[in-house]
Structure 1
Amino acid sequence: MKKRYKIAILPGDGIGPEVMNEACKIIKILKKKFNLMIETQEYDIGGIAIDKHGTALPKKTLKGCKKSDAILLGSIGGPKWNSLSPKNRPEVSSLLYIRKYFNFFVNLRPSLLLNKLNYLSPLKKKIVKKGFDILCVRELTGGIYFGKPSKEIKKKNQHYAIDTTIYNKYEIKRIAKIAFQEASNRNFKVTSIDKSNVLQTSKLWRKTVDKISKKYPKVKLSHLYFDNAVMQIIKNPSKFDVILCPNLIGDIISDECGILTGSIGMLPSASLNEKGFGLYEPAGGSAPDIQGKNIANPIAQILSLSMLLKHSFNMNNLSNLINYSVQKTLLKGFQTYDISDKKKFITTEQMGNEIIKSIIQDY
């Protein structure tokens, strides 16, 4: 008997529904071509959920996620809801809550640039002539985003704010293990990023990562301070394989790696817990400035679906098929607005259709 899979679809805000539509079209094609038993159910989340239900994370949405085998998310937030208090903004009250609720402690963000597509990168051609393939492994449930106290304080003659950075050793150990395991299936290199010349949490981070590395003798470990790392990645991205980061640092580093591919609109991500349950989403934001214009890049959403098939459903062949079809489409010269010369480009829907054509042809 074939296994049934359930995916919770959370289109969210801004361009989320537009790019999600292209990913859902691919799900339909895969179901038909490979006779897959995949059920999808759509739920509200983020700003649109606040408008419709008065909360960014309705109980129905959370319940639907719990009953699913994986979550496919579009995007959350926008200027419309920026006036809300920090704890009530959709990014915090839904996305950060979900990460903590399901214990999504690891965030995987691959950044791939083929050498034949190096013209897409904002870096000089001589720097990216070989292309690059970087996987950023970001710790997702610790650090400054979740440390307490975190508050604004107003006194008679003082007005200040406090955010607390805290890491437990076990949090560092489990994310480090993921990085070394991923590197063992790639090019056997891990670069750990910290600020251990200043921060106590980073000193513990470095000592713990060093200890874990001894269990993976085939993997070469190196360390970089955060400020140096952002420079080295721009200077020579091809020398990096797996980059291991604490939460805040990983937030910044992964976006840097993404934009080096030409657009953050091509950067997918996976947030996983220890049971393999995951949330998959584009690394970019809701981009309300281009909402409804049919020019958003759907590739990050489509590649997020690919990661879902690989990490949550163990469908490596289908994941590889999607990845190859995306690369093939780009190599044919098809470009959305964000990676084009702004004169000749195709729409969100057209890019999705071209990728589907490649999937059908390569099946």
Structure 2
Amino acid sequence: MAVHKLLLLPGDGIGVEVMAQVKRVVKWLDTQGLASFAIEEDLVGGAAYDDCGAPISEEAMTRAAEADAILLGAVGGPKWDGVPYALRPEAGLLRLRKDLHLFANLRPAICYPALADASSLKRELVEGLDVLIVRELTGGVYFGEPKTITNLSDGQKRAVDTQVYESYEIERIARVAFDLARTRRNSVVSSEKHNVMMSGVLWKEVVSSVHGADYPDVQLRHQLADSCAMQLVRAPKQFDVIVTDNLFGDILSDVAAMLTGSLGMLPSASLGPMEEVSGKRSALYEPVHGAAPDIAGKELANPIAMIGSLGMALRYSFGLGEIADRIDAAVAGALAKGYRTGDINAEGMTLVGTQGMGDAILAELERVN
């Protein structure tokens, strides 16, 4: 059995608590002989800053480069509001993305049947929802230069952020989206703002070219980002795969996440380019929720998104899709039996804490083993 090198970066706040539940699932998989892992653990974010004065150490970056996959909990919190901008906890995550060339962010938005009533939308709009947002992660306005705040002679200030994309960046993220669509419902919506942004003009042009040359079997539709956001709230089940840039992907994926009822439910994957010789790619998996310092240490955090992130690692990095399906089924089973953390609780349900939800999911794994 192959041994998979897994780096755990719990991070800050509730990241530590939800990662503890992932460790339990990993141990269970090992014990059952379903998968074998070589696990290392290190610091990132505010925890790393407190330890070594940087949001991630060089040693941790080396471990990350050598790992088959990375699981990250969460970073940040008001404790570190006063640190220099370049050393803020989030800079550790940004460095991982940039240095490992993690250009493709996969953000699924899935509504479990048992949680359809937890959404702010009507049940009929979200029940059975399964949308995948493919966000370009290493280009665009978050990384473009110049990025400055300048003092002007009249006493005013000018802030500049630069939206930059090259055609190869758009092409490779489009290919990821089209390839994934072929494994799903074979439909892609490409979202940008070509009506007011030149980067949007290029985005639409390149996506159309890739589609015409290599993916004519996949249905492609272009939609302006603001219209896409509106349609996600109006009729979300019309979407299969949405491919978009870094800025709009950040916004659209959070909109899609809340359709499911809670940010605590949704995992994500950030993938690098495929290496030609080894066939491997760098990959980082993390829940879409933040560090939630207000509930940290109180056994209130929902671990489902973190456990789901492990499932995505099994699927996309280790080729263990059947085991990932079992984890997904165990989560669905625990929810169907009425177990709820506070963020998704409802009348008549069984309120549990972080470990209690982990217990329920592990019990479901045991039940179907």
Shorter-chain TM-score range: over 0.9
SS in 1 for 2:122: coil
With 156-165 and 229-238 compared, the bigger mean Cα shift is at 156-165
Runs (4 or more) in structure 1 with deviation over 6 Å come to none
In structure 1, the partner of 2:358 is: 352
SS in 2 for 1:293: coil
**Structure 2 unmatched runs, 5+:** 275-280
In structure 2, the partner of 1:199 is: 197
Question: For the residues of structure 2 that align with 1:15 and 1:271, how far apart are their CA atoms?
Answer: 20
1:52 to partner: Cα distance: 1.3
SS in 2 for 1:127: helix
With 97-106 and 112-121 compared, the bigger mean Cα shift is at 112-121
Q: Which amino acid aligns with 1:296?
A: A
1:217 to partner: Cα distance: 1.8
1:116 to partner: Cα distance: 4.7
Question: For the residues of structure 2 that align with 1:115 and 1:27, how far apart are their CA atoms?
Answer: 26
The CA deviation string for residues 81-138 of structure 1, in whole angstroms up to 9 with x for no partner, is 122232221102x11111010000000011111345311211022323x421000000
Match of residue 328, structure 2, among 311, 318, 323: 323
Q: Which amino acid aligns with 2:163?
A: T
* TM-score normalised by length of structure 1: 0.96
Question: For the residues of structure 2 that align with 1:85 and 1:154, how far apart are their CA atoms?
Answer: 19
Query: Would the aligned equivalents of 1:135 and 1:241 in 2 still touch at CA under 8 Å?
Result: yes
1:212 to partner: Cα distance: 1.1
**Mapping for residues 267-282 of structure 1, pairs under 5 Å:** 267-275=266-274, 276-282=281-287
Match of residue 186, structure 2, among 185, 188, 191: 188
Q: Which amino acid aligns with 1:137?
A: V
Question: For the residues of structure 1 that align with 2:263 and 2:318, how far apart are their CA atoms?
Answer: 25
The answer as to 2:131 corresponding to 1:134 is yes
Question: For the residues of structure 2 that align with 1:34 and 1:246, how far apart are their CA atoms?
Answer: 40
Question: For the residues of structure 2 that align with 1:345 and 1:219, how far apart are their CA atoms?
Answer: 43
In structure 2, the partner of 1:119 is: 117
Q: Which amino acid aligns with 2:149?
A: E
**Structure 1 unmatched runs, 5+:** none
Q: Which amino acid aligns with 1:199?
A: M
Query: Would the aligned equivalents of 2:181 and 2:188 in 1 still touch at CA under 8 Å?
Result: yes
In structure 1, the partner of 2:20 is: 21
In structure 2, the partner of 1:86 is: 85
In structure 1, the partner of 2:207 is: 209
Question: For the residues of structure 2 that align with 1:82 and 1:362, how far apart are their CA atoms?
Answer: 46
Question: For the residues of structure 1 that align with 2:88 and 2:153, how far apart are their CA atoms?
Answer: 28
The CA deviation string for residues 9-36 of structure 1, in whole angstroms up to 9 with x for no partner, is 0000010000000011000000010253
SS in 1 for 2:364: helix
Query: Would the aligned equivalents of 2:333 and 2:364 in 1 still touch at CA under 8 Å?
Result: yes
Q: Which amino acid aligns with 1:339?
A: I
Question: For the residues of structure 1 that align with 2:107 and 2:363, how far apart are their CA atoms?
Answer: 26
Question: For the residues of structure 1 that align with 2:328 and 2:113, how far apart are their CA atoms?
Answer: 16
With 320-329 and 30-39 compared, the bigger mean Cα shift is at 30-39
SS in 2 for 1:289: coil
The CA deviation string for residues 154-193 of structure 1, in whole angstroms up to 9 with x for no partner, is 1332311110000000000000001011011100110111
Query: Would the aligned equivalents of 1:121 and 1:261 in 2 still touch at CA under 8 Å?
Result: yes
Query: Would the aligned equivalents of 1:144 and 1:164 in 2 still touch at CA under 8 Å?
Result: yes
With 160-169 and 28-37 compared, the bigger mean Cα shift is at 28-37
In structure 2, the partner of 1:77 is: 76
Label 1:38 to 1:346 Cα distance change in 2 as closer, same or farther (>3 A): same
Question: For the residues of structure 1 that align with 2:51 and 2:61, how far apart are their CA atoms?
Answer: 15
Q: Which amino acid aligns with 1:331?
A: A
**Mapping for residues 1-363 of structure 1, pairs under 5 Å:** 2-34=1-33, 36-92=35-91, 94-128=92-126, 130-157=127-154, 158-214=156-212, 215-275=214-274, 276-341=281-346, 345-363=351-369
* TM-score normalised by length of structure 2: 0.95
Query: Would the aligned equivalents of 1:115 and 1:132 in 2 still touch at CA under 8 Å?
Result: no
